[in-house]
């Protein structure tokens, strides 16, 4: 700065002081608002959580809505395993473990042409049957189960597949899932619900159960699904698992259950996600 030049001093009009006071006041108002905001957020959260507490996934109205939408989506679906009698269905169901229905349907026409009756199977050794069912996987165990079941049916049940849960469960390789398939699909008896991998996954996603064990899942579903729907519901859910609700990357965007499904692993959602629903 050249010597002798004095910088201009602000005029003493009091405007600066007023502006400073206004600025300080506006700052303190902003600080007060910022302090109040978390309170408002907390209140909103509390309101939300009280709403979440009132949500009941197994509310009969919600379950009815799920059933209604499944009926619209899969009006008359049934078991995808090809069969023409109870024995063939039993064999196909045993073979379907850890395999696909498509794969089993490829094997069974030739199998039942080669061995048309339960007596034909009863005369085999498991080793003789193994090559015929090799492509369904786990063929050694499956051959043992099929031949063992045939022998039991011929010797204890007069060659007829029993239409009774307890008796079916005495057959080798037959657990509740297989028994429920045969009872529901062939004999039209609702003694329980088929719980396979699709039913397990989807009923957990839809929060109809929190269990992981098939037996407990079956019990949970028997409590919330009306008995007259047990057979159809299981088929519908199995079809849903094949068509849309895949294990990986379910097609939620195309799913008619989307706005009532809160599954944690949804690929698209218009509703709140529930971490436990998976």
Residue whose CB is less far from ligand SF4, 92 or 257: 257
**Are the beta carbons of 276 and 265 closer than 8 angstroms?**
no
* Binding residue for ligand SF4, selected from 63, 148, 257, 273, defined by CB under 6 A: 257
Stretch of 17-25, 139-147, 213-221, 247-255 contacting ligand SF4, by CB under 6 A: 247-255
Tell me the residue length of the chain. Answer: 278
Number of residues that bind ligand SF4 (CB under 6 A): 12
**Known active-site residue 196:** yes
Residue whose CB is less far from ligand SF4, 188 or 275: 275
Closest CA to 123 of 147, 140, 155, 153: 147
Binding of ligand SF4 by 198 (CB under 6 A): no
Position of tokens 């600066």? 16
Give the C-alpha separation, 193 to 165, whole Å. 12
* Binding residue for ligand SF4, selected from 183, 205, 221, 238, defined by CB under 6 A: 205
Binding of ligand SF4 by 234 (CB under 6 A): no
**Are the beta carbons of 264 and 278 closer than 8 angstroms?**
yes
Give the C-alpha separation, 237 to 254, whole Å. 15
**Are the beta carbons of 190 and 232 closer than 8 angstroms?**
no
**Known active-site residue 12:** no
* Least separation in angstroms between CB 243 and ligand SF4: 9
Binding-site ranges for ligand SF4 (CB under 6 A):
205, 244-245, 250-252, 255, 257-258, 261, 263, 266
Residues known to be catalytic: 177, 196
């Amino acid at each position: 700065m050249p010597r002798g030049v004095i910088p201009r001093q602000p005029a003493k009009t009091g405007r600066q002081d007023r502006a400073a006071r206004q600025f300080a006041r506006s700052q303190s108002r902003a600080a007060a608002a910022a302090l109040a905001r978390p309170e408002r957020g907390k209140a909103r959260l509390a309101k939300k959580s009280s709403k979440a507490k009132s949500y009941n996934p197994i509310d009969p109205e919600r379950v009815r809505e799920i059933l209604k939408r499944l009926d619209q989506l899969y009006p008359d679906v049934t078991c995808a395993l090809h069969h023409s009698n109870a024995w063939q269905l039993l064999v196909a169901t045993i073979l379907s473990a850890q395999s696909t229905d498509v794969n089993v349907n490829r094997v069974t026409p030739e199998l039942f042409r080669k061995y048309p009756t339960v007596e034909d199977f009863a005369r085999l050794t498991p080793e003789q049957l193994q090559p015929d069912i090799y492509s369904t996987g786990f063929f050694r165990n499956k051959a043992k189960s099929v031949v063992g079941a045939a022998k039991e049916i011929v010797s204890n049940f007069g060659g007829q597949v029993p239409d009774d849960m307890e008796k079916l469960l005495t057959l080798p390789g037959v657990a509740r899932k297989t028994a429920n398939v045969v009872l529901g699909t062939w004999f039209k008896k609702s003694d329980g619900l088929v719980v396979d991998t699709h039913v397990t996954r989807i009923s957990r996603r839809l929060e109809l159960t929190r269990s992981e064990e098939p037996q407990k899942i079956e019990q949970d579903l028997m409590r919330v699904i009306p008995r007259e729907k047990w057979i159809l519901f299981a088929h519908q859910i199995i079809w849903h698992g094949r068509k849309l609700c895949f294990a990986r990357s379910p097609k939620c965007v195309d799913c008619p259950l989307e706005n009532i499904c809160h599954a944690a692993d949804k690929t698209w959602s218009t509703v709140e996600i529930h971490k436990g629903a998976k």
